Amino acid sequence: MVSYFVPRGRFLIKASSLRQSAHFKQVQQQQENGKWPMLRHFRQTFSTKSTTPSDTKKQPNIKSVVQSNNTLSKTGNKYNKQRLVSHSAWTKWTGFLLRWTPVGICLFGVIDWQLHKQKSERESLPRTASSFQSKVYCSLPLRIISRCWGWLAACYVPVSLRPYIYGWYSNAFGVNMEEALYPDYKYYNSLAAFFTRPLREGVRPIDNRAAIVSPADGRVLHFGSAQNKLIEEVKGVNYSVSSFLGPVTWHKRLNGNFEEELKEINDGSTELFQCVIYLAPGDYHRFHSPAEWQPKLRRHFVGELLSVNPRIVNWLPDLFCLNERAVYMGKWEHGFFSYAAVGATNVGSVQIYMDDDLKTNRWMGLQLGAHKDRHIYDEIELSNKTHFGRGEMLGQFNMGSTIVLLFEAPKNFKFTIKTGQKVKVGESLGVLE
């Protein structure tokens, strides 16, 4: 049998296949026009057969089927028209709502902000975020942004672009590359490597006369005594020591007073002190031990990743209690000592060199308008051999963040710093008079 091929575009098809495709298009066109091709073929087949009395009785049934099908098609068309009308009406209302809903939300937010501002001025309170504003801010996808930034910072940067990218960053945030161990921009193959650059030996001398030294390069947000179970975040904004550290579980001395339970020495000769240091994006991103001390346990609070910029700290109460943080607690020569590395927006991870089990900035799902439970944490006991020396390197941030020190010291301890002062690793924070 001879097969004929007919060219069609760039392909060759059989003539039989062409006839089949043409027949399929004809049937499809008839279906779109509302005809019944199957019923037409059925009538043709029926007419070619010899008619019998029994067959002629079936003909009216065929007409009734056709009439009923026409009735059904009319009913279906009417139903489809009604459905299209209702769908178009719903689409119009949906478009109207989607167009004007953001305006209503913004208007409600402005009214809430004005009422909260008037209340703060009337009661002489610091201007902080209301409960509604706090929920809206915590609903932002900051953890997703931080994870994306962590991925971007780890991407390889071509050698030819490194001087331009890192040079622009250094000029924008005041990075001093003369202190870096590798001052050549081309040495750092990613932004993360540039952020966590090591320093030359000797550029951060340790003040051995001080009782406690600065653990990081940064700016002092606040310092002072931590009395009445409260830590002052900034002037006029406090947060609870128990909310920040969690319950006292490492000894059984429970008397209902958290401050006394926290202390290692209970003869009245000591008190609790605190210091908060903010690391800006242009600062040295590694942090060190401020004194010789022995950590006993580590607690990892999986919280938010809110910005720790001083303006946000002044505005949002309990910020440090809401944020993700790794808290190491133990003792030093004067009693209790704790060291907390607080996570923040765009901090891809908080890395502690001796703690490989610590994993921060993990995906926790979307929780709109709700804070993560601040009382949930992972706790591990550290080896008795774990010991940190003065000035010893502990870990690093992948972006600017905050260090919070809370420690017990004699009452004659005195800070040698001022609020807003820039400090560097090894410089004195306080002395014993």
pLDDT digit string (tens) for 225-251?
A: 887 666 665 545 566 788 888 888 776
More confident residue, 422 or 351: 422
| Residue 61 lies inside a defined structural domain of this protein | no
pLDDT digit string (tens) for 128-143?
A: 666 777 777 666 766 7
Residue 217 bears catalytic tag: yes
Residue 1 binned pLDDT confidence (cut-offs 50, 70, 90): very low
Angle at 316 between CA 314 and CA 322, to 5 degrees: 125
Is the pLDDT at 27 greater than 70? The verdict is: no
The one catalytic residue among 134, 146, 217, 222: 217
The one catalytic residue among 222, 288, 300, 334: 288
Residue 288 bears catalytic tag: yes
Q: What is the Cα Rg of the chain in Å?
A: 37
Is the pLDDT at 7 greater than 50? The verdict is: no
| Residue 71 lies inside a defined structural domain of this protein | no
Dist. CA 285–CA 215, nearest whole Å: 11
Distance of CA 293 to the CA centre of its chain: 33
| Residue 143 lies inside a defined structural domain of this protein | no
**Residue numbers of the domain that contains 339:** 177-187+189-432
| Residue 379 lies inside a defined structural domain of this protein | yes
Residue 401 bears catalytic tag: yes
| Residue 147 lies inside a defined structural domain of this protein | no
pLDDT digit string (tens) for 389-408?
A: 999 999 998 766 889 999 99
Q: Is 189 exposed, middle or buried (0-12, 13-18, 19+ CB in 10 A)?
A: middle
The 3-class secondary structure across 24-46, one letter per residue, is HHHHHHHHHCCCCHHHHHHHHHH
DSSP 3-state of 313: helix
> 350 with 278: CB under 8 angstroms?
no
Is the pLDDT at 94 greater than 70? The verdict is: no
More confident residue, 359 or 374: 359
The one catalytic residue among 134, 289, 338, 401: 401
Residue 431 binned pLDDT confidence (cut-offs 50, 70, 90): very high
**Number of domains into which the chain is organized:** 1
Backbone angles phi, psi at 338, to 5 degrees: -135, 145
More confident residue, 155 or 132: 155
| Residue 385 lies inside a defined structural domain of this protein | yes
| Residue 380 lies inside a defined structural domain of this protein | yes
Closest CA to 344 of 371, 393, 305: 305
Is the pLDDT at 84 greater than 50? The verdict is: yes
pLDDT at 82: 62
| Residue 169 lies inside a defined structural domain of this protein | no
Residue 182 binned pLDDT confidence (cut-offs 50, 70, 90): very high
Whole-prediction pTM value?
Answer: 0.66
Closest CA to 125 of 369, 314, 351, 345: 314
